[in-house]
Amino acid sequence: MSDPDPAYGAIRRDGVLRVERPATEWLSTGPNGGRQTADHAYNISVPEGWERTDLAAYVGERLERAGFAPSGETPRGPALLTGVDIADARGACRGPVTVYATAGISNPAALPIEQSREAADRTDGGDADPIAPDESARGQGPGTVNVVVGTTRALAPGALENLIAVAAEAKAATLLAETGFPGTTTDAIVVGHDPEGRPAEFSGSGTEVGAATRACVRDAVRASLRAHYADRDADAPDSVTDATYGVSTDGRAAVFRPPLE
């Protein structure tokens, strides 16, 4: 079977994955996130023990080193950072959507959920969460699940933001099935669309764009997990305790009924 020809192409070089499509409007949840129009988005692998906090400068250095940005020029396009080797990146495409993912879970974020009616009916706040180490103390670790989604459709206002929710839901469902965790402490998502493409008013799970995104995220994340663990004959952690890093949200919130006027 021949390799697919995704509408959003990508190349790997020197620990950087560059995803490309001209004049894409991107929306990122990562460092220096938000909306921007650019020809590229990036996923950058950081070394173990990485502690840099000047993220914009670091991204510029890495893109320059990889030959993706001229010396001294501020690179355009969103960039995500990951502790996963970029060699483990995998892509998937279906219809108008292309997705690239890197997945490792040494820093899982567990969310225990009791299924009893008593738990569902609780209204008190319960105990507070245990204090988790801050991001600088926890470090990036050889983990993080990063997802870059691109569609050739021109999404209506609000639909690009909603695509992040669709991708996050698919990522969480896939990780729960494969690892028992819904995510890690440092996951991030970038979504992009073609402002000149065929219009699409919505991006929910029942639409062409949403359904394709769900399938692509699932298959790209599963393939990256396989590359990161099975292909290296390594094991993913079975619990937060077994993980190098990680947190469990064990506290309870106060549940209430909004007042009626």
Cβ-contact 247, 171 below 8 angstroms:
no
Residue-range definition of the domain harbouring residue 85: 9-114+141-241
The SS3 assignment for 224 reads helix
Domain for residue 248, yes or no? no
Helix H or strand E encompassing 26: strand 16-28
**CATH code for the domain in which residue 175 is found:** 3.60.70
Structural domain count, the chain: 1
Amino acid at 231: D
Cα 261 from Cα 257, distance rounded (Å) = 12
Domain for residue 99, yes or no? yes
Pairing type for strands 144-151 and 188-193 reads parallel
Cα 109 from Cα 105, distance rounded (Å) = 9
Domain for residue 250, yes or no? no
Nearest by Cα to 84 from 118, 47, 55: 47
Amino acid at 73: E
Report pLDDT for 129.
Answer: 44
Domain for residue 96, yes or no? yes
Report pLDDT for 73.
Answer: 72
Output the pTM of the full model.
Answer: 0.89
User: How many Cα neighbours within 13 Å face the side chain of 104?
Assistant: 27
pLDDT in tens, the chain (261 residues): 567 899 999 999 999 999 999 999 999 999 989 999 999 999 999 988 888 989 999 999 999 999 998 776 777 899 999 999 999 999 999 999 999 999 999 999 999 987 644 444 543 444 444 434 443 333 344 579 999 999 999 999 999 999 999 999 999 999 999 999 999 999 999 999 999 999 999 999 999 999 999 999 999 999 999 999 988 888 888 999 888 888 999 999 999 999 999
Cα 221 from Cα 200, distance rounded (Å) = 25
Domain for residue 252, yes or no? no
- How far, CA to CA in Å, does 43 sit from each of 103, 112, 175, 232, 257? 12, 30, 19, 21, 42
Domain for residue 173, yes or no? yes
Report pLDDT for 13.
Answer: 97
